[in-house]
Structure 1
Amino acid sequence: MKKTSSILASAAVLWATGIGIAASADNVIKIGEVNSYKAQPAFLEPYRKGMQLALDEINAAGGVNGKKLELISRDDNGNPGDSVRVAEELVSREHVDVLTGGFLSNTGLALTDFAKQRKFFFLAGEPLTDKIVWQDGNRYTFRLRPSTYMQVAMLAPEAVALKKKRWALVYPNYEYGQSAVATFKELMKAAQPDVEFVAEQATPLGKVDAGSVVQALADAKPDAIFNVLFAGDLLKFVREGNTRGLFKGREVVSLLTGEPEYIDPLKEESPNNWIVTGYPWYGIQTPEHTAFLKAYQAKFKDYPRLGSVVGYSEIMSLAAGIKKAGSTDSEKLADAFKGLQVNTPLGPIVYRSEDHQSTMGGYVGRTKVENGKGVMVDYRYLDGAKYLPSAAQVAKLRPAQ
């Protein structure tokens, strides 16, 4: 009897403990996040801070639907296979409610396919490839950041206005770079039929041989250059180009170069007068951004980068979607995100029903070296909704759901 009583007592304790754990788990929404922290720290460390700021604000206000948000992150080493492996771990072992993240386009596509196969909700924050919402789009995947197509479409009118005939192209040789150049060619040929592409340098991601690339571009004698390199590759390219005089007398149109993550490390070596997309945090005077900037600087004693905006907006989007759905069920979330409106530091955005792309826009301007560092000048914000194809066009690009 004593033994039986002991067993029953132990069982009661375990049962009670189990109820406590279940109750605790029921009071938390777990966000599983996958990213390339070790491979791309310049963007992703500020991004992590942006996510944390959003989490703190949401939880301090009582959470979402009465539940606190909890973030569980995993590093994918910038490898698509690792992205799928850690996503599976988050879903199967950590029992997360939703997935988010992604930086490189190839890892983003791997996570997009995972979401499709597992029928599990995934919000892609940063990967830019158009395939995430078009060719490889699926019911369970949505994307926050302006796509490759959107950003190139923002730059193309500026490039056309230069009235330069001979263009050279340089880009990282993977999905993002390839799609950016393909879109640039398409839009330029449509607007300027006599355009010529006289040189094309596709470099291994993170392993650019800047000397040979710059020399090959110079030998082609282009009138202008379209650049898609970023991070460490951009630094090497700019420094070598400055040394060899590649940019003298030539216009350069460049994706991402105005982002603090990539222009700040160049300091006084930053290029002058390039046409770029970026994030001039120091000059944005909207109420939404002013509030974000104040809160970010108070918490981290640092200025935000574009990654900070993406991380913050990513968590805010998930919170808004879960609140609207009243659930973390993937089917209900997929429905709730269609037409979802979210307030971000860059202003209000909408996740389009037709392709699951958000209408977040971007800043386009010129680079300039001021006080020993690169900044954006003469910039303006372009609404992302104006740089997306129509629902009819999307229907031809995206598989039927």
Structure 2
Amino acid sequence: MLELARTRNVTRRLVLAAAMTLPFAASIPAHAQETVKIGLVAALSGQSAKSGEAITRGLTLAIDKINAEGGVLGKQVELVSRDDESNPGKGLVAARELVQREGVAALIGGLDTPVSLAIVPFVNQEKVVFVGPWAAGTPITKNGAEENYVFRVSAVDEYVDEAITEYLVTKYGAKKPGLILINNPWGESNERGLTKALEKRGMEHAGIEKFESNDVDVVPQLTRLKEAGADSLFLVANVAPSAQVVKSLDRMGWDVPISSHWGPAGGRFTELAGPSGEKVHFIQTFLFTEESDPLFVTLKEKFPEIKTLADVTPATGIANAYDAMLLLAAAIEKAGSTDGPAIREAMYEVSGIEGVIKTYDKPFTPDDQDALGPEDYTFAHFVDGQIIPLGE
């Protein structure tokens, strides 16, 4: 609770800062617009740009389908995007701009948990539905708001932590894993989840080490874990920092099993990590396994630069965003309005929505605003630049 309180204090300051950086702009009545605008705040540049690209592609395919079937409320759906550059302050400013200037009916988030956590207080205050298709930090949806406007079609840290703990124990017989975590709110969220999963099994960890996203040498932290007797590693970080962990392990000559959150899937991980990147096993919620997959066929038609399955990194971002957009559109249609509170109530009623991950029958409740659970996870790794299920 102390960590959550700190996060709330930081995000409150960010809300005030964003308010001062933008001139006053009256909200644009969404009903007066010719289209139903959906706002996207995601990393569209920088080291996590592949994640933003994947989310954009998934949303675009879903919107094409929705519009071909008549749109929502008799109007076409329009995507309005802003780049958060993986920066919480910039993400919050972008969210305010989309809501107050563009008059979006709802917001879609991106990869980074710190950015989403910065946006959460704002959307709850403004009563605007915010759907996360990627960021997995547990407090994003479990944020303590009396009226919670934040929903998610993605993995959830506390569930992922249980899954990757079970994986290390059952596959490798791990008895004393070490934790190597990015030093930000996402790392903190997983520290709580992983230690809870170990305590549940009566297990001890070899230590908890943190590192920064711009660290190029993680050997000191890994050395401490090795000397403490770590027989395996939990890794939580996005693409570039995860690659630095792998390269540091190579420099040490330490070949140790690694069970990871899905951070490495957000870009060309093995290009940065080298061949040893293929040893990292990580969680996914969706994978293309056949080029005949209907969504993959549509993806190739829409984006000619995609030739093979190896050109899709990662499929999880595409699928989560695609399903999130279908659920959001169904809720807006059911609400009969672009009014935020009406859409929020309708999110609890949507049913029979056939997504690519699964069919959703009332996937949200006021007590659980996450549409996906552990049963929707699978483990994967990179092989020749392509993410494939383990065992294939």
Quickly name the TM-score band, shorter chain normalised. Answer: 0.7 to 0.9
Report the number of matched residues. 350
Aligned residue in 1 for 2:303 = 300
Which residues of structure 1 form unaligned runs of 5+?
A: 1-21, 380-401
Q: Deviations over 1:278-318 (max 9, x none)?
A: 36734269xxx922121112221324322222222232222
Q: Deviations over 1:54-102 (max 9, x none)?
A: 2222212221121100111112232222222222222222122222213
Q: 1:291 aligns with which of 275, 290, 294?
A: 294
Higher strand fraction: Structure 1 or Structure 2?
1
Q: 1:53 aligns with which of 14, 37, 61?
A: 61
- What are the equivalent positions in structure 2 for 1:1-400 lying under 5 Å apart? 25-39=32-46, 40-137=48-145, 138-161=147-170, 162-191=172-201, 193=202, 195-247=203-255, 250-256=256-262, 259=265, 261=267, 263-265=269-271, 269-271=275-277, 274-278=280-284, 281-283=287-289, 290-301=293-304, 302=306, 303=309, 304=312, 305=314, 306-341=316-351, 342-349=353-360, 350-359=363-372, 362-365=376-379, 367=381, 369=383, 375-378=388-391
- Check whether the contact 1:264–1:374 (CA below 8 A) recurs between aligned residues: no
CA RMSD of aligned residues (A): 2.8
Give distance in 1, aligned partners of 2:152 and 2:59: 16
Q: Give 1:45 deviation, angstroms.
A: 1.3
Deviates more, 1:94-103 or 1:112-121: 94-103
- Helix, strand or coil: the match of 1:139? coil
Give distance in 2, aligned partners of 1:244 and 1:255: 23
Aligned residue in 2 for 1:11 = none
Q: Give 1:336 deviation, angstroms.
A: 0.5
Q: Deviations over 1:183-221 (max 9, x none)?
A: 111111112x1x222232211134353333333333333
Q: Deviations over 1:1-44 (max 9, x none)?
A: xxxxxxxxxxxxxxxxxxxxx99954310112212222420211
Change in Cα spacing, 1:260 to 1:130, as seen in structure 2 (3 Å) is closer
- Helix, strand or coil: the match of 2:107? strand
Amino acid in structure 1 at the alignment position of 2:166: P
Amino acid in structure 2 at the alignment position of 1:290: D
- Check whether the contact 2:42–2:111 (CA below 8 A) recurs between aligned residues: yes
- Check whether the contact 2:287–2:388 (CA below 8 A) recurs between aligned residues: no
Change in Cα spacing, 1:189 to 1:54, as seen in structure 2 (3 Å) is same
Q: Give 1:274 deviation, angstroms.
A: 4.5
- Helix, strand or coil: the match of 1:281? coil
- Structure number, greater radius of gyration: 1
Amino acid in structure 2 at the alignment position of 1:166: K
Amino acid in structure 2 at the alignment position of 1:376: P
Q: Deviations over 1:91-143 (max 9, x none)?
A: 22212222221321121112110011112222222221111222444432212
**TM-score of the superposed pair, with normalisation by structure 1:** 0.78
Give distance in 1, aligned partners of 2:151 and 2:71: 22
- Check whether the contact 1:43–1:307 (CA below 8 A) recurs between aligned residues: yes
Q: Deviations over 1:316-340 (max 9, x none)?
A: 2221111221211111111110143
Which residues of structure 2 form unaligned runs of 5+?
A: 1-28
Amino acid in structure 2 at the alignment position of 1:365: F
**TM-score of the superposed pair, with normalisation by structure 2:** 0.80
Give distance in 2, aligned partners of 1:126 and 1:348: 19
- Helix, strand or coil: the match of 1:62? coil
Amino acid in structure 1 at the alignment position of 2:356: P
- Helix, strand or coil: the match of 1:378? coil
Deviates more, 1:197-206 or 1:262-271: 262-271
Q: Deviations over 1:235-270 (max 9, x none)?
A: 1211221232222xx322111167373545358614
- Check whether the contact 2:270–2:278 (CA below 8 A) recurs between aligned residues: no
